């Protein structure tokens, strides 16, 4: 997952560098905007992946906490 996100970010960097070259070359605004839309879509996709990854980690952490709490409750009930 990390490699995928990194690859996507590198692609976005390449697109941005391309936009700078377009601007420096005086290429038509329409082409620049097309590339900017692609960058925006790429950033949105990366954001989605990162959010999904964080949610998955939070869910796993919550599950581990629930298991720990259950084990602790069982331990306490056996010692009383």
Is 15:42 a contact under the CB 8 Å cutoff? yes
Residues 51-70: tens digit of each pLDDT? 898 888 888 888 888 888 88
How many structural domains is the chain composed of? 1
DSSP label at 26? T
- What is the pTM for the complete model shown? 0.70
* Distance between CA atoms of residues 5 and 70, nearest Å: 36
Range of the domain at 19: 2-79
For the chain, the average pLDDT equals 90
Residues 32-43: tens digit of each pLDDT? 999 999 999 999
CATH of the domain at 52: 1.20.58.1000
């Amino acid at each position: 997952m990390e490699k995928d996100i990194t690859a996507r970010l590198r692609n976005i960097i390449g697109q941005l560098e391309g936009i700078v070259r377009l601007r420096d070359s005086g290429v038509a605004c329409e082409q620049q905007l097309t590339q900017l839309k692609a960058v925006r879509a790429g950033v949105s996709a990366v954001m989605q992946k990162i959010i999904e990854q964080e949610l998955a980690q939070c869910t796993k952490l919550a599950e581990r906490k629930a298991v720990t709490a259950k084990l602790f409750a069982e331990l306490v009930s056996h010692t009383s």
